Structure 1
Amino acid sequence: MNAHSPLEAGIGLATASLELKGVGKSFGAVEVLRDIDLSIAKGEFVVFVGPSGCGKSTLLRLIAGLEEVSEGEIAIGGKDVTDLDPSRRGIAMVFQSYALYPHMSVAQNMGFGLKMAHRPAAEVEQKVRAAAEILQLTKLLDRRPGQLSGGQRQRVAIGRAIVRDPQIFLFDEPLSNLDAELRVEMRIEIARLHKTLGNTMVYVTHDQTEAMTLADKIVVLRGGRIEQVGAPATLYEDPDNLFVAGFVGSPKMNVLPATLSESGLEVAGRSLPRPTLFGTGGEGGDIQLGIRPEHLRPARGSEPSLPFTVDFTEYLGGSSFLYGRCGEGLSLVVQGERGMAPKAGAEMAITCDTADMRLFDMAGKRLR
């Protein structure tokens, strides 16, 4: 075994479950979070997503102990930590800003917390080198932050968290300061890190691509409440409401007004078959039809179809997105087949399989 291997250094051996029961947070008269019930299993990678101001970063800070809860309980590893100081919760947090000491080397920055805790110098060195090995920072340990790229600085910040051997890692939008290419690289790094360490990780982001690619489970928040919790594929394929359907996926789900009849759907003056995933009842009522762009395709032969006029084509090489109109004033996005790049004004008939239709009531709640 390598003298500075993660296992020998004790890195990644500690992990714990996380439980939130009836958690709420208010700042004066302003209620930011309410009725948050959430269970995170040991070793899970959970991502909080939602629009700005939905409370996702506040929730992370409550877990960390950086903010006091107004109501409810937080338990880590089955132990109530609601009133414990952050240093006693067994967590480590990685922020959006790297917060590195510019006058210290990479090694000194990574080991600073352990040094302040008066850990033996040999232990500090061992853990720092083990973390550097995981993050491919071994050759950079003598450099200072000013000599590093943005991605390398963020890896140092993550390394500083790793050496503390926390039970839970908390990430607060750690990649938002990086450019697009570096974000992709760091997503891969963080996914590899989770696989290597196996620790419980809770991650806040506004980037749904990060959420979809990293998470075992996604928590969608809106207005201080949880809208839905589930695996990425579940939220994408089986959303509970139009908010989740529109928030998860890019481009977002198409939504068209429709009328449900016994024989099918009336959409944009056309008749479509009744969705196969929908039960009985509701005939004659106004509803909303949701269809993902990739599920729309050119109609074949006499298939029931919708009219579609192309306004703009976003050609991406391997695929394309057609932005246009369905009927009078109904916007629609269609994912085109490879090499498909019709010009503005082109007209076509489009359809989808009934298994790919999702129905919602006029308030946005899923009809099943």
Structure 2
Amino acid sequence: MPRRVSVPLNVKPGKAWYTYEPLGVVMVIGAWNYPVNLTFMPLIAALAAGNCVVVKPSEVASHTSAALAELLPLYVDPEAVVVVEGGAEVTLDLIDQNLDHVFFTGSPTVGSAIMAAASKHLTPVTLELGGKCPVIVTESARLDVAARRIAFGKLANSGQTCVAPDYVMVDRKVRDEFVPLLVKTLEEFSEGRRLPIVNQRHAARIEALVASAGGQVVTGGDVDVENASAPITVVLDPAPGSAIMAEEIFGPVLPVVTVEGLDDAIGRVNAGTKPLASYLFTQDRSDEERSLAGFSAGATVINHVMMHMAVHDLPFGGVGTSGTGRYHGHWGFETFSHAKAILRQQTRIDPRLMYPPYSPRFQKMVRKQL
């Protein structure tokens, strides 16, 4: 539907509006951790905007990829949606077909390769990436609530969620009370079970992160690479330069770092890359204001984790290395649309003074206005 906008005096009489049109043929590259949800959500947005879509499911979730290739053509127009299976070489070959847009969900490392491949044709990209999502627990926080909600978020999908709490920074004044609460809640919620990791390669990566972390493992730590599983693991005060504090964990391991207050926590966030999401637990509104102004993140949730994903009127996306572009709700429609500007002017009135050569008097009048 056309959307009218006002025009300045020097354009009157005239009418201006903009309208959305589809980009053309777009590509949606799915992720393995939520292989249906993270494929269908951008697919729906792309179709709603009127595009044709090439769907490239994640090869890591091979069974889901095969199911999508079999089932999608039965329920959507096969001339509008095509599923192509394969690995990285297939993805790069598809991008090389000079598409109109590429939407990718995954890691910053792969996102960088996607952007580089798309740049060859100046193909615009939306990159929904990851990052080390911090949790800040201040001295005013409701510690029991914080423990429950952090545990809930970390255990979801074994921590294999792009907006999962990646590490917790807790004020020293409440650390000794909070850490046992958190550990107890994590163990209670997981019921002592080992949590599945997507495959042996990722399990080996998790094992290496824990082994090189330093600090104190207060629960868990026994990663079974062969069976790709691990108990929920908490590492207290890992070494600042360790890999576990530099890389996105994406697994059932949660570092807890002692900080000397909110300013210390904000400084630590700013020392790293911009996160996809940040979480603040506090009962102090001034803490909220300081945190929101203190660092940049794709989203901030106060007194909970991950719940912004359920609010579809909020834009979802990263900033800096955690992503570019956004979707969910009407934001997804806009991502897969071109907002075309239109101006119509009438021809009945066409004052001669608008055209050169300009008289000294007219030039003087324009200078006064400017």
> Shorter-normalised TM-score: what interval?
under 0.3
Higher relative contact order (CA 8 A, sep 6+): 2
TM-score by length of 2: 0.23
| TM-score, structure 1 normalization | 0.24
The structure where strand makes up a greater share of residues is: 1
Higher helix share: 2
